[in-house]
């Protein structure tokens, strides 16, 4: 029952992701690019692709006993579909990177808490790359996963550092207090 529910929720989430993705593409094609403050949000699309890839492979592996003689076919089909999702993620990563470079060429990105949108999606895609590398037993994907892990570490350190700097500078500013009301 748990495996059935996992597939059902995966499918529901994937369909919703496709609907939202269509709206995002329409927004990017018809309207100008969002303000530089929203640049990190362009990376969010990597998250569902990475999680969806890992989930497909893990569900196929977990259901081995349940699938019986169909187990090898389910594993192959899951790997193929997971690879297709991962491939779309590769395109997304390249597109998000190109757009980030475009934003950086116009000046520094204003820092905001939204910068954390660089980390989770890239972490999910890095995990998907490593899981797919193990599933297909491909050393090239393992190397790519290692490179992505280094990039993720750099992003994480930069974002964490900027977050701490921002928090520290806000705590050093004088706090404005509302005037107290006289007691009557």
The pLDDT of residue 173 is: 58
Judged against a pLDDT cut of 90, whether residue 64 lies above it is answered with no
| Mean pLDDT value of segment 60-86 | 92
> Can you give the length of the chain in residues?
184
The pLDDT of residue 161 is: 96
Q: What's the CA gap between 49 and 128, in Å, rounded?
A: 8
pTM over 0.75: yes
Chain centroid, CA 76 distance in Å: 25
């Amino acid at each position: 029952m748990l495996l059935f529910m996992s597939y059902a929720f995966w499918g529901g989430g994937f369909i919703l992701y496709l609907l939202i993705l269509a709206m995002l593409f329409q927004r990017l094609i018809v309207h100008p690019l969002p303000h530089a403050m929203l640049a990190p949000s362009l990376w969010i699309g990597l998250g569902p692709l990475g999680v969806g890839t890992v989930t497909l492979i893990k569900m196929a592996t977990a259901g081995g006993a349940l699938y019986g003689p169909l187990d090898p076919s389910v594993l192959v089909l899951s790997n193929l579909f997971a690879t297709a999702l991962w491939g779309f993620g590769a395109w997304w990563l390249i597109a998000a990177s190109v757009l980030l470079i475009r934003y950086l060429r116009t000046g520094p990105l204003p820092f905001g808490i939204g910068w954390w949108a660089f980390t989770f999606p890239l972490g999910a895609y890095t995990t998907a790359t490593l899981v797919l590398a193990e599933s297909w037993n491909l050393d090239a994907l393992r190397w790519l996963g290692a490179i992505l892990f280094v990039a993720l570490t750099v992003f994480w350190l930069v974002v964490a550092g900027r977050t701490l700097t921002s928090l520290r500078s806000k705590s050093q500013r004088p706090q404005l207090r509302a005037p107290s009301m006289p007691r009557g």
